[in-house]
Amino acid sequence: MNLAGLAIGGSGDGAVARFGLAAGLILALCLVVAAPSADATTSPTTKLANGAERTTYTVGPIDVTPGQNRIAYKPITGSEKPAEDGWITRINPNMVRADGSVPLSSKVMFHHGVWLNLSRTDSTADIPERFYATGEEKTNLELPDGFGYRYEKSDIWILNHMLHNLTPEPMTLYVTYTIDFIPDSAPEAASIEPARPIWMDVENAHVYPVFDVWRDSGGKDNKFVYPTDAKNPYPDGVQKNEWTVDRDGVLLGTVGHVHSGGLATDLYLRRDGARYQGPRCNKKFKVKRKWNKKRKSRMKKKLRKCRNKMPSVKGNESHLFKSTVKYFEPRGPVSWDMAMVGTKPGWRVELKKGDTLAMTATYETKRASWPESMGIMIAYMAEADAKGKDPFSKKVDYKGVLNHGHYAENDDHGGKKPVVGPDARKLPDGLASGGPFEISGFSYEAGDYRLPGTLGRPPVIRKGEQFTFQLAEGDASQEIWHSLTSCKAPCNRSTGIAYPIPDGEFQFDSGQLGDVTPAVLTRTWKTPKNLPVGTHTYFCRIHPLMRGAIRVVKK
């Protein structure tokens, strides 16, 4: 998921943004009522054994413009959500074409979808309640038996979506979500306990909660942990990765979200005055030298068994869960062909008012840089009639369960033949100019592989000089943003979800050039002054079909 972004408005102006959004939404609803969409559909409902009804709702159509990678909002109207009050126990997302087929992730990505309930306030930020989110990895939410997210048919919902079109072709797509729903009219509804979403995010409440991970940053283990390994991650002093628990309760489960390159998210709990209260295994099961082999091994076994039940406590902080990433991607942690590991259904952790929940996100830093990364954990919490383990006396960070299997739409990894361009290192010099070059119509003005003649060859500057690239007015006005991101030469193989990646020998990344969030809000970018002598190949992270090269020669 880029589950994420979700937040509307910065941390300071959340309330204002919310009311502004609500006003706009009412207008939008009126429009929708006036002209109902002919395409709005729901699937036939299936009755499940536990009293729940399984229905797939379709939100759309959503017109996806060429090359778009923007955050947009769409009201979820009457026929796109349940018609009566009840409880949601499971949500399963997707993005489809009109005929129901799922497009390849190498063409369009469901970068994120965040379901917001405007009728309630979020638990961890002063914005509408974020009760479900998904990103490209299409994580399912499944609450443990007996718990549900309360749904009132009067609730006003809106979908924050970011559909990332990797191609210059327009598309018409739909977001779908399948929910298990126990209506109040079902007898089972009486025994459901309410669960509330707890949104944890290393950049919580940010309009676009991302951070950059650079190759070779972080520890010697080739891992970068955010915010721990970051320099000044929170300049305004707000520890965005933490939340102070506002009432007693029980955590019911959690699952993380990272981008390509991500390895895990971790959830911790701090409690004032708390300390390790678990078993003292080393004291209890001491192995003595004088014992014979058999006795030693028996005791070692007991020691191991005891240790496996020790909570992971350091000082007054307990580790609650590690949401790891399973990559189906054959090349490893370099694409969206992955699934997250969430907590098992029986996981329960006691929370006390005043506790601090904190989270971190871990990325690999050996293969490549990972610009615009995320670290999010969605948790659910119950308040009444649920018992949780005290994480200072009992181990809770057991291994979890894989959220889902491999998706067929991710089976286009790229990086194969045929090549889509020349090996720019072998080309003669192009223009003797550092620009400025205009990026327009999905093309870099000079050095773009697809341009003919001199323009298709790498333009040349002398060491110490800089190239300037700027996003043309036309692309900017259509919110078509591009980047120049270094990739390992020759960077000319077929495009897929795992190729190219930001793995250039000399690392640079322009960010998404553009003047509307989530672009970097600048249309002009200059190459680093210390760009070494040689030919540097690069690609566009938003439209990986776009490739180019620049060349630096000695003074």
Residues of this chain that bind Cu ion (CB under 5 A):
482, 540, 542-543, 546
Min separation Cβ 316 and Cu ion, Å = 47
The residue with tokens 């937040």 is 7
Min separation Cβ 261 and Cu ion, Å = 20
Distance CA 369, CA 485 (A): 10
Distance CA 88, CA 287 (A): 52
What are φ and ψ of residue 462, in 5° steps? -95, 155
Min separation Cβ 476 and Cu ion, Å = 12
Min separation Cβ 545 and Cu ion, Å = 8
Distances (CA, A) of 299 to 245, 295, 302, 307, 309: 41, 6, 5, 12, 16
For Cu ion, which is the closer residue by CB, 156 or 540?
Answer: 540
Look at residues 332, 323, 321 and name the one whose alpha carbon lies nearest to residue 366.
Answer: 332
Amino acid at 551: R
Please check whether residue 350 is in contact with residue 391, taking contact to mean a CB–CB distance below 8 angstroms.
yes
Amino acid at 160: N
SS (H, E, C) 71-89: EEEEEECHHHCCCCCEEEE
For Cu ion, which is the closer residue by CB, 82 or 514?
Answer: 514
Please check whether residue 164 is in contact with residue 109, taking contact to mean a CB–CB distance below 8 angstroms.
yes
DSSP label of 189: G
Min separation Cβ 166 and Cu ion, Å = 9
The residue with tokens 């001491």 is 286
For Cu ion, which is the closer residue by CB, 395 or 482?
Answer: 482
In terms of DSSP H, where are the helices of 237-292? Answer: 281-284
- Sort residue 429 into left (φ over 0), alpha (ψ -120 to 50) or beta: beta
DSSP label of 458: P
Min separation Cβ 540 and Cu ion, Å = 3
Min separation Cβ 485 and Cu ion, Å = 10
Distance CA 8, CA 115 (A): 12
For Cu ion, which is the closer residue by CB, 71 or 141?
Answer: 71
Distance CA 201, CA 359 (A): 7
Min separation Cβ 108 and Cu ion, Å = 14
Min separation Cβ 543 and Cu ion, Å = 3
Min separation Cβ 194 and Cu ion, Å = 45
For Cu ion, which is the closer residue by CB, 20 or 441?
Answer: 441
For Cu ion, which is the closer residue by CB, 133 or 446?
Answer: 446
For Cu ion, which is the closer residue by CB, 77 or 369?
Answer: 369
Compute the radius of gyration of the chain from its Cα atoms. Answer: 26
Min separation Cβ 541 and Cu ion, Å = 8
Distance CA 385, CA 267 (A): 23
For Cu ion, which is the closer residue by CB, 343 or 485?
Answer: 485
Distance CA 469, CA 536 (A): 15
For Cu ion, which is the closer residue by CB, 81 or 543?
Answer: 543
Min separation Cβ 416 and Cu ion, Å = 22
For Cu ion, which is the closer residue by CB, 56 or 68?
Answer: 68
Look at residues 193, 318, 308 and name the one whose alpha carbon lies nearest to residue 250.
Answer: 193
Q: Residue 496 contacts by C-beta under 8 Å, 6 or more apart in sequence?
A: 106, 335, 412, 413, 414, 415, 416
Q: Which residues on adjacent β-strands are paired with residue 458? A: none
For Cu ion, which is the closer residue by CB, 112 or 482?
Answer: 482
Distance CA 155, CA 49 (A): 27
The arrangement of strands across the sheet holding 108-121 comes to: 71-76, 157-165, 108-121, 128-135
For Cu ion, which is the closer residue by CB, 258 or 542?
Answer: 542
Distance CA 197, CA 292 (A): 54
The neighbour count for residue 149, using CB atoms within 10 Å, is 25
For Cu ion, which is the closer residue by CB, 310 or 545?
Answer: 545
Distance CA 387, CA 349 (A): 8
Min separation Cβ 70 and Cu ion, Å = 13
